[in-house]
Amino acid sequence: MSDFIRKKNILIISEGFEEKPYIDKILSFPNINKDIYNFPPSVNAKGNGRIFARYQYEIQRGFYDLILVFCDADKGSEEFLSIVHKIGENFFISKEAGFSVFIFANPVTLQIVLSHFGDVSLTKVSKKANADTVEQLTGIRNYDATQEQIDEMIGMIHFASIEDFKKRLSSTSDNFHDLPSTNFLTFLNRFENDDTSWVDDINRLKKQNK
């Protein structure tokens, strides 16, 4: 029981049908420090327009030490920034502090997923625009994020290639203003580590801790 109590319970709210199975697959790998962290299955918000409401619902339940959001930055769109700032304004000490709970991919999550298969530098948001790159790296033709295509792609991702994946991400900017960019590696390194101080650092930014 004591082992369970000392774990950090972390929920990840995923933007949609691509993000959820991907993050659940990654969190199942043995490099994730399961002695320190407990990750329940991620929540599928089914669209970025529903992220704030789900975040509000989960934080009010009070079940978790931390709630994170995994979503597209959509080339730094106003919609993405409005979600970040709304979470920051409502639950943290500033609208900018909302960024602390976001795992982002700019322009889209495929930038992260395809990095398991080779070097990739996406600059377009639309699935049609990225379909050729998907086919080149995975063999999946006419990618349109159908459930079958998503399942096929996620099924190709294996722990054996995780170090190659991390090397590729290490050369990708973690500044969301850049295209492409992602801070996924920062969070993956945190999930692998014994040091949970980053969780406390984020929670100090919450309004109730002012």
pLDDT higher than threshold 60 for residue 4: no
Which of 138, 98, 143, 139 minimizes the C-alpha distance to 124? 143
Condensed to tens digits (0 to 9), the pLDDT of residues 40-53 reads 999 999 999 999 99
Preceding amide of 107 cis, omega within 30: yes
Every domain of the chain and the residues it spans: 2-209
Instruction: State pTM to two decimals.
Output: 0.95
Condensed to tens digits (0 to 9), the pLDDT of residues 84-133 reads 999 999 999 999 999 999 999 999 999 999 999 999 999 999 999 999 99
How far is residue 120 from each of residues 108, 109, 117, 130, 200, measured CA to CA in Å?
12, 12, 9, 11, 34
Local confidence band at 3 (pLDDT 50, 70, 90 cut-offs): very low
pLDDT higher than threshold 50 for residue 175: yes
